[in-house]
Structures are given as C-alpha cells and as structure tokens.
Amino acid sequence: MTTFQNFIGGRWVAPSTGEYFENRNPAQHTDLIGRFPASGVADVEAAVASAVRGFARWKATPAPARGDVLRRVGDLLAARKEELADLMTREMGKPLAETRGDVQEGIDTAYYAATEGRRLFGHTVPSELANKWAMTMRRPIGVCGLITPFNFPLAIPTWKAFPALLCGNAVILKPAEDVPHTATVLVEILLEAGLPPEVIQLVHGMGEVVGKALVEHPDVPVISFTGSTETGRLVGETCGRMHKRLSLEMGGKNAQIVLDDADLDLALDGVLWGAFGTTGQRCTATSRLILQDGIHDAFIERLVARAAQLRLGDGRAAGTDVGPLVNAAAREKVEQYVAVGLAEGAVLRLGGARAVGGALDQGHFFQPTIFTGVAPGSRLEQEEIFGPVLSVVRVRTAEEAFTVNNGVRYGLSSSVYTRDVNVAFRALQQLDNGITYVNAPTIGAEAHLPFGGVKQTGNGHREGGWEVYEFYSETKVGYVDYSGALQRAQIDNY
C-alpha cells in the first residue's frame, strides 16, 4: 500500500504525529488508494515558517514570470488530463466525463492566471493638484491558507491557489480528507512547472486539527474556505477576531424554475443534470424544482420516468450516469433528509433509499430521489442536503416562483426556463443569487467569470474571473508630487 506525505519546507515529509488515515474508493470499499498524513499542529507551524520564506522570494518575482509558471502548470494539467480524471473519479466517485470537466476547469484557471500576470491592472487617475501623479497598484499579501472541499478535487484548489500565487503570495493547501490524492498530484505538478518549493505547502489531515491551526495562525493573513455554512461560521469568527482577509463559499439550496411557456424538453435535460450530476454534491446542485401549475403534472411524470432510468455505478465504468456519495456519513445524511421529508408530508415519487444489489453493495450509492408537494418553508425545502434529492414546489405565477426561490437563507445559483424575454430579465433582476441561468441548469459556471453567492452562501467575495485577483492582493495607492512645492490637498486648491 502507498503511503503519501505532506509537502513542507520544500520536501515530502512524514507528519509529526506519525499518524495516517486511509483513503478509499467510494464506489468500491475494498479499493484502498493509500494512507495519508493525519497531521498535527506542529506540521502547520513548520509549513507556515517555510511559507514565510517562500513568500519573501516569490513576491520579488515579476508577475509575468509568475504567470509563466502557471502557464506550464496548465500545459502539464492538459497533458495529464485523462490520468487525473481517472484518479479523481477513483477517490471521489463522480463519472469520468465530470472529472475531465474538473481538470479542464483547472486548465482554464491556469491559463487565465498566466495572462493575468501581464495585467494585474491598477488605475492611473488625475490628481486634484497640478504636477502631481496619482495611481494604484496591486501588492501581494503573504501566506494564504486554502481549505478546500471534496466535490471538485482539482478545480476548487486551482480556483484558490492559482490566483493567490499569481498575485505573489505563498500558499498552504489543506485539502478535504476525502480527496488527498488529487491535491498531492496538483502539488507535484506545481513543482514540476517550476514553482519555488517553499511557495507551496501541502498539509493533509482533519479540518478540526489542521484547518483550525491554519485559521488560528497569526502569520497566515489570508484564508479561503469552501465548505459547510456551519464550519464557515467558525472560520469567520476566528478570522474576524484576528482581522484576517477571508473568502467564504458555503451552502446552497438552488432552484430551477420552469414556467408554463418553457421548452420542456430542455428543462427536463437541465434538471436531470442539475439535480443528479455529481450525485447532487455540488454547491450549485439543483435541490429545488419550482414548477408552474400548467405544466406541473406532465413535467413530473416525464421527470420521474427519466430519472428512474439513470444508471448508477462506478464512475470509471462506461455508461455510468451517477456515481456514489463520497462517504458513509454523506449517505446517512441523505437518508435522514428522506425521513424528514416523509415526516413533513412531502410525497416521495422516486427513490428514497440506498441503491443496492450487485456491485452497488460495494459503495455508498443512493437512488435518485424526487419529492413532490414540498411546502415552502419546510426543512426539506430549506436545508442543504448535498445528495441526489430533488424537492418539487408548485406555484401559480412567475412572481410566486421568484418569491419561493428567494425564501431560503442561501443564495448561490438559480435557473429559470421560459421563452418570455421579459420574464427572463425580471428573473435576472429579482432572484437573490450570485448566479442566475436562463434556459440552462443551476450548474455550469465558467472559470473566467466571478463565482459566488449572496446571503448565507458567502461573505461578499467571489472566486474566479477578474474579481478574485482583488481578494488575493492589496491595493496600494501611490502619489508622486513633482511640483517641487508643498501642495496641500483639499486646502491649497480650494
């Protein structure tokens, strides 16, 4: 069996604890991928000390040269796309088509970052005084602690790490304990591309130990966290107390709205992909389906028939539509929500139980599940499940659909299917989400646009696109007075 290590201080090293945890294939319990470090606080201390040295060197490297490293990272990811997709499916379960997409998102992020090295724009603006220059520039901040989830084992670490690195920061990555292998290969690729070793540190282990130590460390001024709203609150409390810069990406309860005038075939393809892709384990997953009266019954009938035909199985096997849940706890959580839905009086139209029989017995499989008659305000309708469970709400009008969409504490993505351009634009304006799709499902964000949500989903920051470069850098203002005299702003000129 392979034993993997941390990358700290420019070397692959064993954890100070001497302890390891196992990483198994969620589709096949007997398939042991390897043992990974269950690191302790001392490992985080060593990683921070090294990253501080890495930062001193890296911030002095011109941004275009930093971009060149990231371009090579993109090239290496592209060359190894198939291999990475396979190992990612093996450790977290989603089908190969999806893990290929996950790698592609990393490639896109790398190439975007590479070119940003030749932008990192500041502004030059007129001064209110004669013979005085006024401008802004971007400066790196320091050591960034990145805490990443299991569902996009490559894309999300790259969303955080590549812009952080391009801006001149050093990075400490704490990947989810369900997907340590992908993170290990990502770090190998960064090193192969020429990143100076102490600029990146990889510390495996549990959130309560390693994540907590990173968040609490005074020499880590930047934290980026993607995960549950509950954990995000703890992270936020500590970062608030310590005046850290913090980006949070947390829960979602995303809805697809289908109005009477919609292209129903399109809406059907959309909801199947949005609700059951990645086995529902996306922050952007379609967890609610809001149907207008006129099409409700016919749409449900077709949806149930189609969802019943989705093929569950090992994501590495040809023909698999839906893989397993990531681990036993995830499956138990989904089971609990099915019980909640039944107790609340929702009507179970499909699934609702573990998927068993044959090879499915070897993994954490759960049947695609559909509830109808779900009441707005009920727990099933309000709480994030992170599994293949779709709750259907019936409404009379588009406006009522918007109200239901907005009636949850989360605000990541939403989707509306309509042929009426007026309604589509009203939805774009009125839906309280960071992302709204028209005639497309709630998932499908592209790497060069800002990604994030409103309300309890986030804390105002965005990943991706141009906005994330502001998160990972400080604005510095420069004034140059070349008049040769003391000029007092606001005073001498008025």
Residue 1's contacts (CB-CB under 8 Å, 6 or more residues apart) are: 32, 34, 35
CB 264 within 8 A of CB 231: no
Smaller CB distance to ligand UN1: residue 175 or 197? 175
Instruction: Give least dist CB 284 to ligand UN1, A.
Output: 4
Which C-beta is closer to ligand UN1: that of 211 or that of 227?
A: 227
Sign of torsion over alpha carbons 170, 85, 150, 410: positive
> Minimal distance in Å, beta carbon 285 to ligand UN1?
7
Catalytic residue from among 116, 283, 381, 463: 283
Contact 128, 431 (CB under 8 A): no
CA distance 50 to 9: 5
List all residues 6 or more positions away from 442 whose beta carbon is below 8 Å from its beta carbon: 254, 255, 256, 274, 284, 285, 286, 413, 414, 415, 435
Q: Taking a C-beta distance cutoff of 8 angstroms, is the pair 116, 469 a contact?
A: yes
Residue type, 321: D
Binding of residue 152 to ligand UN1 (CB under 6 A): yes
Kindly state whether residue 122 participates in binding ligand UN1, applying the rule CB under 6 A: no
Which helix (H) or strand (E) element contains residue 160? helix 155-166
Confirm or reject binding of residue 450 to ligand UN1 (CB under 6 A).
no
Binding mask 53-92 for ligand UN1 (x = CB under 6 A): ----------------------------------------
Q: What are the start-end ranges of the E strands in 346-387? A: 347-350, 369-372
Would you say 284 or 473 has its CB closer to ligand UN1?
Answer: 284
Q: How many CA atoms lie within 13 A of 129 on its CB side?
A: 19
Residues 73, 272, 445, 468: which binds ligand UN1 (CB under 6 A)?
445
- Residues 92-121: x where in contact with ligand UN1 by CB under 6 A, - otherwise, as a string: -------------x----------------
Q: Which of 114, 172, 190, 443 binds ligand UN1 (CB under 6 A)?
A: 443
The H or E element containing residue 12 is: strand 11-13
- Residue 112 is inside which H or E element, if any? helix 96-116
| Residue 289 C-beta: closest distance to ligand UN1, Å | 17
User: Closest separation between CB of residue 250 and ligand UN1, Å?
Assistant: 10
Q: Is 239 assigned a catalytic role?
A: no
Q: Are 386 and 228 in contact (CB under 8 A)?
A: no
151 binds ligand UN1 (CB under 6 A): yes
* Nearest approach, Cβ of residue 13 and ligand UN1 (Å): 31
Residues 279-308, one symbol each (x = binds ligand UN1 by CB under 6 A, - = not), give ---xxx------------------------
Residues binding ligand UN1: what is the number (CB under 6 A)? 9
Whether the CB-CB separation of 451 and 436 falls below 8 Å is answered with no
Closest to ligand UN1 by CB, 50 vs 287, is: 287
In the complex, the smallest distance separating the C-beta of residue 105 from ligand UN1, rounded to whole angstroms, is 6
Q: Is 283 a catalytic residue?
A: yes
Q: Summarize as ranges the residues that interact with ligand UN1 (CB under 6 A).
A: 105, 151-152, 282-284, 443-445
Active site residues: 249, 283
